[in-house]
Structure 1
């Protein structure tokens, strides 16, 4: 999915600015501004007033300049009322939540006494939906700004809801429910990355219900696991534990050649760490390591992506939570040596900064915090931002150092902007 902000580029050139010159006026990197014009990133809320001033436009006019123009590929997949280019982020969010209510009702309605035997027409979502959904997961995973995938995802959700309204055979209905379970996990991931945890939880709940209706235990378990993540990131570990216990039971009904049950174990380890149970945490991590004994296709790259590659950083997170910096440092250093997405790298850097704070190592705090903040600003990821918020509380005893005091203020500004 590609897009460009041609109107933003045209306004810049009309004022005689090169990308380098306008970046200098805005006090940002040229690469950051270039990413705005190519829709690879969005200006943060605190950056927009200054951008409007430099471009000599009103805030409303700036929003128009920042609206991406759809390319031919986007129009082919996202034309229709849900892809209105003037929609704000809040409008897009409300669209998804409105569709959630409608789709939830359609899934909950009982089957007709005499199921339809109508065959799905060629080219219907029953046939084409899974391939497009897989593409959307790839767009999401490859995008630095995860919100870029939302317009097409919300359009696809509308199409699935519309097709669910029509009479379907039992087999077609199950396939459509499977697509709902798939898409709402993706929508939840987009909201989760933006720190919209309540919205994400609603999406994961519907995804779990739809997956159950589809008879897909692995997808069902994954939706429950994602729901538990919401509680983990709010540090409500006692609430996450029973959700993960249910996910584990559901996963046991699934395909033993898939990695589902091992992913559930990895997330359970984080819950045990939050509850202060080192022994259970280690046991869960050891269970998760058994994913490496699987062979063949162990995940689908969409709603199930766990292959054990993240276990080093997950161990580091768990041991840091348990107050075991000796165990955490080796795990996090190992994770940082791997090929990571910008989002994951930023999270690991924030964890290493937190480790430095635990040890009162100010140089480690400053170096890793600044690197993490740079990636948080570059990607707009609330996931990294949440890690930095966790670090912020640990900076208070160290704020006699000017550098640490500045970092504390910068993290506050980042949180406020998010």
Structure 2
């Protein structure tokens, strides 16, 4: 491989010798020499800090390491041409096989380079039928690479890549490929937290004759997966069991093993640990592969079961930590966020059992019924504004009792969504015991653990309400000399709308994007550990959305009649601990 001249130039421009650069990264100088010679690649966990030192984004760092797809004409990496000047489709197909190998090994940067270099230099309008088919396949594989890294929505995301591929295969009238991409888009919807919508799409595709028998069986399994994540395990288990039988008839060993893994989690959700353990033992005895992604998923599922039994709880935490380290090492940020949520839920459960918890147990008068839960889920959906994510000048992560907000901010930073983040917040009644050092400080510590460089973090430790979160964070950015024309507000899932309405009032000049971890209502309840508290918060936030515009704290928001009615029913039922008192 040729010397990485761009990387060398960037290092020298940033004012580093090889020795000083190595010291800043806490690696040997000989390691930097190997990187720059092109013989080795920096590990994924080093790349965010490396990019920060060089003053470049993660995408720009990837270009320095592997070459820019848009600037390779005339270089060794320029696309091979036939004598006629057309694309060398054989080489293109070979590269796509290499992308598949990268996917299996989670070698994301190289895989994205291989896929992107063809896409960047091809005009789909000038391609013949074969070339357009390869173009569509390249988009699908690029979507896989982004999906496995948890880059789900936005202009450069799995959703965007699959959407473009869908257009290509529709143009080619390749109905099998169209249905396959529709299945992939349903997976993105599930990973984004829209579980019932995903289950509906999977259910239609499970009977779609355009798909192969294996893909139809997988769609049926995924119906159960989405329902199980939503807490509907009694409905999920029959769907998964039926899919399992189909995998047996199709002799699909890998899918058969994965189905056992998912059935184990569904039976755990039903409270049947004996059946869950039986299914998990089969999955462990017949693993469905040994790639980092497969190991992370298998260990995470196993840890979930181990944590459910007091006798194996310590082993569960150990397994979960091993899974988290592997996920972070290989850039599997979606899986890492899920693991962190599971760990937080388990730690909070231990806290409730062993010491005084910050969470108040539901009283007899406030038992959550199915009717309450339906109303809460309606308000939950309303609170999410559904912004398409795009890069912003800066981010503000609003402090609260949920460290998942800090974890999601770290994930978005590593995706290149913003160069700096302000963690803002003093304490509230529910967070004071958990974060005696303050919300902003606790969030900063979590982000540092997840690899966000200290230079990219600002803290604002004084805000005690959402308006102060915005105004004081704006002041922090201004004092740091950061002229923000766009800002990403990172909040708990149900706080998106109120944060948006408040920021639009307090900082009208800035373009606002709201973001939160893609969790369903049931998944979020599991991370917090107290459904009564969650519903009280949902109700309290909706009251503020209704009342604050009247006193100039926020801009008005339309509230559908059904949402208003659900709010009134929940207030009447006693979910009122977070309501304004005057």
Q: TM-score range by the shorter chain?
A: 0.5 to 0.7
Could you tell me which of 340, 357, 378 is aligned with 2:307? 357
Task: Encode CA deviations 1:323-373: one digit per residue, 9 max, x unaligned.
Answer: 543333333343334242112212222223333333345313321121112
Q: Distance in 2 between matches of 1:127 and 1:140?
A: 20
Give the equivalent residue in structure 2 for 1:243.
201
Q: Distance in 2 between matches of 1:61 and 1:325?
A: 49
How do 1:334-353 residues align onto structure 2 when only pairs under 5 Å count? Answer: 334-337=282-285, 338=287, 339-353=289-303
RMSD of aligned residue pairs (Cα, Å): 4.6
Could you tell me which of 299, 305, 316 is aligned with 2:264? 316
TM-score (norm 2): 0.48
TM-score (norm 1): 0.64
Q: Cα distance 1:230–1:159, how it changes in 2: closer, same or farther (>3 A)?
A: same
Task: Encode CA deviations 1:39-91: one digit per residue, 9 max, x unaligned.
Answer: 2632357x72xx79xxxx94528979965766xxx77xx764379x9xxxxxx
Q: Distance in 2 between matches of 1:37 and 1:413?
A: 36
Q: Cα distance 1:371–1:325, how it changes in 2: closer, same or farther (>3 A)?
A: same
Q: Cα distance 1:309–1:254, how it changes in 2: closer, same or farther (>3 A)?
A: same
Q: Cα distance 1:176–1:335, how it changes in 2: closer, same or farther (>3 A)?
A: same
Q: Cα distance 1:189–1:233, how it changes in 2: closer, same or farther (>3 A)?
A: same
How do 1:161-176 residues align onto structure 2 when only pairs under 5 Å count? Answer: 162=123, 164-166=124-126, 172-173=128-129, 175-176=130-131
Q: Distance in 2 between matches of 1:352 and 1:394?
A: 14
Give the equivalent residue in structure 2 for 1:290.
246
Give the equivalent residue in structure 1 for 2:434.
none
Please report how far the alpha carbon of residue 4 of structure 1 lies from its aligned counterpart in structure 2 after TM superposition: 7.8
Could you tell me which of 41, 66, 87 is aligned with 1:124? 87
Query: More helix by proportion, 1 or 2?
Result: 1
How do 1:35-184 residues align onto structure 2 when only pairs under 5 Å count? Answer: 38-39=40-41, 41-43=43-45, 48=49, 58-60=53-55, 80-81=70-71, 124=87, 128-143=91-106, 145-160=107-122, 162=123, 164-166=124-126, 172-173=128-129, 175-184=130-139
1:417 aligns with 2:410: yes
Q: Which has the higher relative contact order, 1 or 2, with Cα contacts under 8 A spaced 6 or more apart?
A: 1
Q: Distance in 1 between matches of 2:57 and 2:192?
A: 34
Could you tell me which of 225, 244, 251 is aligned with 1:270? 225
Q: Distance in 2 between matches of 1:221 and 1:369?
A: 35
Q: Distance in 2 between matches of 1:245 and 1:16?
A: 53
1:281 aligns with 2:244: no
Q: Distance in 1 between matches of 2:59 and 2:134?
A: 33
Could you tell me which of 136, 139, 145 is aligned with 1:190? 145
Please report how far the alpha carbon of residue 386 of structure 1 lies from its aligned counterpart in structure 2 after TM superposition: 3.3
Count of matched residue pairs: 341
Q: Secondary structure at the match of 1:380?
A: coil
Extract unaligned runs of 5+ from structure 2: 76-82, 359-400, 412-582
